[in-house]
Amino acid sequence: MKPTQVASGVARLAISVLIAAAALLPIVWGLLSSFKTPQDILQTTPRWLPATFTLENYISIFKAGTGGYLFNSILVSTGTVALCLALGSVAGYGLARFQFPGKRAVTVSIIAVMSIPVASLLIPTYTLMAEVALVNTRLGLILVYSAYQLPIVIWIMATYYQTLPEELEWSALIDGYSRAQTLWKIVLPLSRPALIAATLFVLTFAWNDFVVAVTLLSADSVRTLPIGIYNFLGFYGREWGPLLAASMVSIVPLVALFVALQRFFIAGMTGGGVKG
Amino acid sequence: MTDRAESGASIEFSGVRKRYGSTVALDELDLHIKPGEFVSLLGPSGSGKSTTLNILAGLLQPDEGKVLIGGRDVTRLSPDKRDIAMVFQNYALYPHMTVAENLAFPLQAPGRSMERDAIVARVNEVAKALGIEQLLQRQPREISGGQQQRVALGRAMVRDPKVFLLDEPLSNLDARLRLRMRRDLKALHQRLRSTIVYVTHDQSEAMSLSDRVAIYMGGKLQQFAPPLDIYRYPVNLFVAQFMGEREMNTLVGRVESTDMGCVMVSGSLRLPLGEAETWRHFRGRDVILGIRAEGIQIAGHGEVQGTLAKVRLVEHAGAEQVFFADAENIEFCGRVPADSDLRIGDDVHLHLVAHEMFLFDASTGVALVQGGQPARNAE
């Protein structure tokens, strides 16, 4: 390697490290502080490592009902992902492979819907859900989340299907399989990268959402984790320990999933790069 | 595999048309293929041959006309109900299944309800017939192109269809392997006696494999006949140019008659055509003279018919040599035996073989003379 190449490599690495640090340091700080005692956290000369390592914060949040919030979050997120994938994978297939009247209009409206900010839909959504008595239910939240996320799932799936050679499907059709069977046995197994990318998209939204959940849910028993975390601000005044502990409980599962699946996630986003 | 007495099904296209927007992909196709026949659909890309195949497979719906397989109208029938199998150019092996699973897939289709043991037995039988038994547990991406090709063929054979559709199946193989697979395909057809419809843009493949060849251009079927007939009696200039290893030598001009018989006049070149009566009919008409390379030889002393030319290039082609020579700025391509001592820059007398000469109408391209005789299809 030439010296100039080495220099540019080092420069690029330095910039990457800087960006990564900016993103990660607050989280690392939060993680370390969640194991600190209250005095430790508020020490005037802040220290990275806890002086006395304690699980007290975690124990207290679970005593305060975080287990229930966690359960609700898992239930709602799983339900949303399942519904979005079930509908999106089939709808995307229709868009990718069939010509039908109004196809262009459908495609355009799917893209248009993606650009509407969720906040602007909150009031109408609330009114609608109240009409059909789904306010304050986990099912209602699943349906609303799915409605918001379905367009992007359809889009991810349709673009990925288009990268698969159509001969595979023709071959299965000629061999005596229906469209639905072909989708199930040939197309979906080959679309794993797109399915995983779509899952992570939907999951991130459903898991992290605060504003929709806080609007639609009022009973404590159905609340999801983000609202639970918010409530710690009220319940404990400014008790940073439990708040940080609850934040970590909500962050860790998602981060772990992303790390485990990031290979497929990137493949899904670049579309068709990885097959089989 | 057991030899089967029954042969394939007949295929009939009548008045089939297909358009994409304003472009005509297939124009008024009438084509009758006999049971057990090996037919090649030959033509440049976009000529309509693949459209024909896809309509036959049921992957495309024709705008007009009817398609019959084995006498049964299948025009509106879905692909799975046509009793056909298809091999695609990219083989379309399912990448997430092993070779064995790929071969078994057509047999596991819901409508077929075959016993597990029977499926295994049949897969092994086909794998053995194609010499791919040792590959059964591999994934498609782990085997070579030629092996993938065999697996694709096996997947088509496994359910014993009446009709095989092959879409340029050899075009992704290297030259030598292609020749071997060509021979194997021919042998396979001899044994199965199924009807095979084979799409290709390679005229030598079509010539060597087929009972009959259908030549397409611009969405229209030009000629449908046995390979040798097409070679000897091309109906028009396009067919004549397309068939044959090298492009035909062509010369645009007029036929004039002299005391010595007819001559072809093209610019400053005057090419004697001989005294045959055939040429006299076309005097004064704008025509194209066509001569295949095998019809242009170097004249010995004393032979009169021909013209003086200068050798520009000599290629060795195994059993013979191919040369290019200029006469009055027009290039001719001809053949001489491998041992003839021809050098670049030599002045030679070109001898035109009468029964290799063709004449076409300059504006329509319709054949007027085929192999020195009046055209069979002449007006």
pLDDT of residue B188: 86
Mean pLDDT of A269-276: 42
Q: Higher model confidence: residue A59 or residue B306?
A: A59
Q: Residues 156-215, chain A: which have Cβ within 8 Å of B?
A: 165, 167-168, 170-178, 181, 186, 189-190
A3-17, A43-57, A169-183, B17-31: which has the minimum mean pLDDT?
A43-57
pLDDT of residue A235: 56
Residue B329: pLDDT above 60?
Answer: yes
Residue with the two structure tokens 């790929």? B102
B11-242: CATH topology is Rossmann fold (3.40.50)
Residue A275: pLDDT above 50?
Answer: no
Mean pLDDT of A193-203: 91
- CB pair distance less than 8 Å for A171 and B88: yes
pLDDT of residue B53: 94
C-alpha atoms less than 13 angstroms from C-alpha of B317 in its C-beta half-sphere:
13
DSSP state of B299: -
Residue A63: pLDDT above 90?
Answer: no
* Residue A131's pLDDT band (cuts 50, 70, 90): very high
Name the residue among B213, B280, B295 with its Cα closest to residue B49: B213
Question: How far does the CA of residue A89 sit from the closest CA of chain B (Å)?
Answer: 19
Q: Higher model confidence: residue B90 or residue A266?
A: B90
Indicate the residue type of B268: S
- Closest by Cβ to B57, choosing from A174, A181, A189: A174
pLDDT 10s digits, B89-128: 889 999 999 999 999 999 999 888 788 999 999 999 999 9
CA distance B90 to B148: 9
Q: Say if B58 is an interface residue toward chain A (CB within 8 Å).
A: yes
Q: What is the pTM of this model?
A: 0.80
Residue A96: pLDDT above 60?
Answer: yes
- Percent of chain A past pLDDT 90, that is, above it, reads 51
pLDDT of residue A206: 94
Name the residue among A14, A23, A35 with its Cα closest to residue A240: A35
Phi then psi dihedrals of residue B363, to 5 deg: -90, -40
Q: How does the average pLDDT of chain B come out, rounded?
A: 88
* Residue A276's pLDDT band (cuts 50, 70, 90): very low
Question: How far does the CA of residue B106 sit from the closest CA of chain A (Å)?
Answer: 5
Residue A81: pLDDT above 50?
Answer: yes
pLDDT 10s digits, B156-197: 989 888 899 999 988 888 888 888 888 888 888 888 889 999
pLDDT of residue B333: 92
DSSP state of B247: P
- For A120, residues 6+ apart whose C-beta sits below 8 A from its C-beta are none
pLDDT of residue B223: 94
pLDDT of residue B209: 92
User: Domain residues of chain B, as ranges?
Assistant: 11-242, 249-374
Burial class (CB in 10 A: 0-12, 13-18, 19+), B282: buried
- CB pair distance less than 8 Å for B92 and A167: yes
pLDDT of residue A273: 37
A63-270: CATH topology is MetI-like fold (1.10.3720)
Q: Higher model confidence: residue A273 or residue A271?
A: A271
Handedness of CA A124, A125, A128, A130 (dihedral sign): negative
Chain A, chain B: beta-carbon pairs less than 8 Å apart: 62
pLDDT 10s digits, B9-37: 999 999 999 998 888 899 989 999 999 99
- Closest by Cβ to B92, choosing from A165, A176, A275: A165
Question: How far does the CA of residue A165 sit from the closest CA of chain B (Å)?
Answer: 8
User: Domain residues of chain A, as ranges?
Assistant: 63-270
C-alpha atoms less than 13 angstroms from C-alpha of B248 in its C-beta half-sphere:
28
- Percent of chain B past pLDDT 70, that is, above it, reads 96
What ipTM goes with this model? 0.80
Q: Residues 118-137, chain A: which have Cβ within 8 Å of B?
A: none
Mean pLDDT of B207-220: 93
Question: How far does the CA of residue B74 sit from the closest CA of chain A (Å)?
Answer: 13
Q: Determine whether domain B249-374 maps to CATH 2.40.50.140.
A: yes
Q: Say if B88 is an interface residue toward chain A (CB within 8 Å).
A: yes
Residue B60: pLDDT above 60?
Answer: yes
b/e per residue, A6-33, with b = 16+ CB within 10 A? eeeeeeeeeeeeeeeeeeeeeeeebbbb
A60-74, B70-84, B272-286: which has the minimum mean pLDDT?
B272-286
pLDDT of residue A269: 56
- CB pair distance less than 8 Å for A174 and B159: no
pLDDT of residue B39: 96
Residue B77: pLDDT above 70?
Answer: yes
Mean pLDDT of B306-333: 87
* Residue B272's pLDDT band (cuts 50, 70, 90): confident
* Residue B217's pLDDT band (cuts 50, 70, 90): very high
pLDDT 10s digits, B333-362: 998 888 888 888 888 888 888 888 899 999
Residue of B nearest to A172 (CA): B106
Residue A270: pLDDT above 80?
Answer: no
pLDDT 10s digits, B290-304: 999 888 888 776 555
* Residue B379's pLDDT band (cuts 50, 70, 90): very low
